[in-house]
């Protein structure tokens, strides 16, 4: 089992596979997005399960998270702000989902160019925020052949 850090289409990522990324991509490439406030590293158990099943697991930092966390994240998403200015906070939250989903076509393009994906074998999944990204991404990129949302409700 091997894990490598990478930047894919400008997005910080972790990639996990058994033999090589190219060999794993032959079985399928799965993009995995973490939950709200998390980062790509929180997905390592899922990446391991995907790699053990023969897939190429790719965990990516969502917009405004992880290595590209918004400087004012804690202010924008302060728990009290949800109570005092729900509409603005929800708008900021939805923007993170939309911005992340909008990156997916470029991520898939980059993976294809590297030989780390096959056009007919790319899937996406995620938990919570990542589950919502999964729903939005299937609209952004028709090359996604499978999607799973875990505790994500559009």
| Of 29 and 80, more confident | 29
- In DSSP terms, which residues pair with 69 in a beta bridge? none
**pLDDT score of 30:** 98
Residue with tokens 């995907």: 50
pLDDT at 54 over 90: yes
pLDDT at 38 over 90: yes
pTM above 0.75, yes or no: yes
Return phi, psi of residue 129, to 5°. -55, -40
pLDDT digits (tens, 9 = 90+) for 64-106: 999 999 999 999 999 988 889 999 999 999 999 999 999 999 9
Q: Where are the beta strands (DSSP E) in the chain?
A: 2-8, 11-17, 29-33, 56-60, 122-127, 144-150
**pLDDT score of 3:** 83
pLDDT digits (tens, 9 = 90+) for 107-124: 999 999 999 999 999 999
**pLDDT score of 2:** 83
Return phi, psi of residue 49, to 5°. -60, -40
Identify the three-state secondary structure at position 49. helix
What distance in Å separates the CA atoms of residue 85 and residue 89, rounded to the nearest whole number?
A: 6
pLDDT at 154 over 80: no
Which strand (E) or helix (H) includes residue 115? none
Identify the three-state secondary structure at position 23. helix
**pLDDT score of 153:** 77
What distance in Å separates the CA atoms of residue 36 and residue 39, rounded to the nearest whole number?
A: 8
Mean pLDDT across 21-44: 96
């Amino acid at each position: 089992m091997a894990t490598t850090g990478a930047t894919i289409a400008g997005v910080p990522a972790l990639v996990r596979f058994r033999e090589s990324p190219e060999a794993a991509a032959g079985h399928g490439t799965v993009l995995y997005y973490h939950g709200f406030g998390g980062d790509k590293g929180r997905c390592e158990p899922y990446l391991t399960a995907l790699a053990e099943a023969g897939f190429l697991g790719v965990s990516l930092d969502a917009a405004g998270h992880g290595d590209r966390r918004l400087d004012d994240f804690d202010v924008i998403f302060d728990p009290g702000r949800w109570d005092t200015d729900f509409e603005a906070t929800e708008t900021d939250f939805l923007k993170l989902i939309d911005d992340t989903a909008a990156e997916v076509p470029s991520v898939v393009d980059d993976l294809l160019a590297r030989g780390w994906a096959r056009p007919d074998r790319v899937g996406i999944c995620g938990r919570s925020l990542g589950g919502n990204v999964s729903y939005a991404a299937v609209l952004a990129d028709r090359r996604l052949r499978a999607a799973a949302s875990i505790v994500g409700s559009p």
